[in-house]
Amino acid sequence: MCNHNKYGKLLKSEKIKIYNIFYDDIGLDFFISKIGEKNTIVCSDINSDEVVRFVHDFQPDLFLLQGGRLLRQNFLTALDRAYILHLHLGIVPYYRGGNSQFWTIYNNAVNENGFTIQSVDLNIDTGAIYIRKSIVDFDENDNHHSMYCKTQLAGIESLKKLIEFYMINNYIPKPIEVTEKGFNYTGKMVTESACKYVFLNGKEVLSSYCRSPKKPAYKNISVI
């Protein structure tokens, strides 16, 4: 998100308030307490040699990922036989890259919102699809930050179903390859004018959307 201009900063202040409502200020300490320190590594570069060794030695069956940097080949090699499940908070391939909820508001296309659980390759959100689901049930009190939170929580529920399937069957069906090129929204595209539009017009976009039938733009996909 663009934090170096007036409207970017205003959007960021909204984000902090909304995230506190949905996540109750859950931080890193919470996750470490659940996972255990010996199973945790805190780093600034996920592709560092230290992290790659950690992953290689751990030898996970499933590797869950959301956000962050692109994984390099040495990281993917270290995962070896693991299923990599990447929760992307956008409908692939049409909303690749970041800030998908921001862009559905900007595009006046709230019905194009959703998440994708996909495999990972060396490119941006171009992996094959395990699950893709539209999330379009919003109301006039929502904004793109609460849309993000609701989409993420729905995606986590689908991740849990994939994990449960694996625990019962000891495999996950082959993901579905993406044939369309779609579009990659880069950070450079989140300009001051884009932030201004979303900040000033987001409420009206959602209000107008809520008066519509709320019909998803894209079909859901699932391998389970």
Question: Which pair of tokens denotes residue 9?
Answer: 């900063």
Whether residue 171 lies inside any domain: the answer is yes
Q: Supply the Cα-derived Rg of the chain in whole angstroms.
A: 18
Whether residue 1 lies inside any domain: the answer is no
> How many Cα atoms are found within 13 Å in the side-chain-facing hemisphere of 23?
19
Whether residue 83 lies inside any domain: the answer is yes
pLDDT in tens, 184-207: 999 999 999 999 999 999 999 999
Minimum mean pLDDT among 34-38, 59-63, 177-181: which range? 34-38
Sign of torsion over alpha carbons 110, 115, 121, 126 = negative
Distance, in Å, from the CA atom of 114 to the CA atom of 188, rounded to the nearest integer, reads 22
Amino acid identity, residue 173? Answer: P
Residue from 220, 39, 19 nearest 101 by CA: 19
Domain residues for 98? Answer: 6-222
- Whichever domain contains 11, its CATH number is 3.40.50.12230
Distance, in Å, from the CA atom of 104 to the CA atom of 101, rounded to the nearest integer, reads 5
pLDDT in tens, 148-159: 999 999 999 999
pLDDT in tens, 45-83: 999 999 999 999 999 999 999 988 899 999 999 998 899
Whole-structure pTM value = 0.92
Total domain count, the chain:
1
Residue from 48, 185, 173, 73 nearest 125 by CA: 185
